[in-house]
Amino acid sequence: METGFEMETNAPYSLNYLIFIQNIHLNRKNPDKENPLFPYVDSSAWGIVREDFGQFYTEVWEEAVNKNSRDRLYDHYGVFDRDKALYQKLFENGEIGAFGYAESVKSFLAWWNGIYGRIAIEKVFDEYTMNEVYKELAASLKVNKRLRIDLTYDKPLLAGSAELSWYAVLPIEDIFMPYKVPEIVPRLLKCCEDF
- Distance separating alpha carbons of residues 53 and 96, to the nearest angstrom: 16
Give the confidence band of 2 by pLDDT, cuts at 50, 70, 90.
low
- Would you tell me the crossing angle of helices 181-191 and 127-140 to the nearest 10 degrees? 50
pTM over 0.85: yes
Q: Do the bridges between strand 162-164 and strand 167-171 make them parallel or antiparallel, or are there none, so unpaired?
A: antiparallel
Alpha helices in 30-117 (DSSP H): 53-70, 79-82, 84-87, 95-112
Tell me the per-residue pLDDT of 115-173, one tens digit each, with 9 for 90 and over. Answer: 999 999 988 887 777 888 898 899 999 889 999 999 999 999 999 778 899 999 999 98
Tell me the per-residue pLDDT of 19-67, one tens digit each, with 9 for 90 and over. Answer: 999 999 999 999 889 999 999 999 999 999 999 999 999 999 999 999 9
Secondary structure element (H or E) that encloses residue 188, with its range: helix 181-191
- Distance separating alpha carbons of residues 182 and 133, to the nearest angstrom: 9
> Is it the case that residue 1 has pLDDT exceeding 50?
no
How is the beta sheet containing 162-164 ordered, strand by strand? 6-10, 146-152, 167-171, 162-164
